[in-house]
Amino acid sequence: MSNGTDQPSAGEGGSLGDAASHFTTEAGGTPAGPGRYVNVDALTSVEFLPGLGFRPVLGQKAMTNFVTFEPGAVAPRHVHEEEQIVVVIEGEFTFDLDGDVRVMRKGDVAVVPSWVPHGAWATDTRCVEIDVFAPPRSSLLQLAEAQAAESAAQAAADEAAGSTAEEA
81-140: per-residue pLDDT in tens?
A: 999 999 999 999 999 999 999 999 999 999 999 999 999 999 999 999 999 999 999 888
- Is there a domain that residue 34 lies in? no
- Is there a domain that residue 21 lies in? no
CATH of residue 63's domain is: 2.60.120.10
- Is there a domain that residue 109 lies in? yes
Q: How far apart are CA 113 and CA 104, in angstroms?
A: 18
Q: What is the pTM of this model?
A: 0.75
- Is there a domain that residue 143 lies in? yes
- Is there a domain that residue 115 lies in? yes
- Kindly indicate the confidence band of residue 166, based on its pLDDT and cuts at 50, 70 and 90: low
- Kindly indicate the confidence band of residue 24, based on its pLDDT and cuts at 50, 70 and 90: confident
Residue (of 74, 121, 112, 76) closest to 94 by Cα position: 121
Query: What residue numbers bound the domain in which 140 lies?
Result: 40-167
Task: List the beta bridge partners of residue 42.
Answer: none
Q: How far apart are CA 122 and CA 81, in angstroms?
A: 24
- Looking at residue 1, its pLDDT comes to 43
- Is there a domain that residue 159 lies in? yes
- Torsion sign over Cα 143, 148, 153, 158: positive
Q: How many structural domains does the chain have?
A: 1
- Is there a domain that residue 158 lies in? yes
Least confidently predicted of 34-38, 93-97, 107-111, 150-154: 150-154
- Is there a domain that residue 56 lies in? yes
Tell me the three state secondary structure of residue 66: strand
Mean pLDDT, residues 68-91: 97
Position with higher pLDDT, 52 vs 147: 52
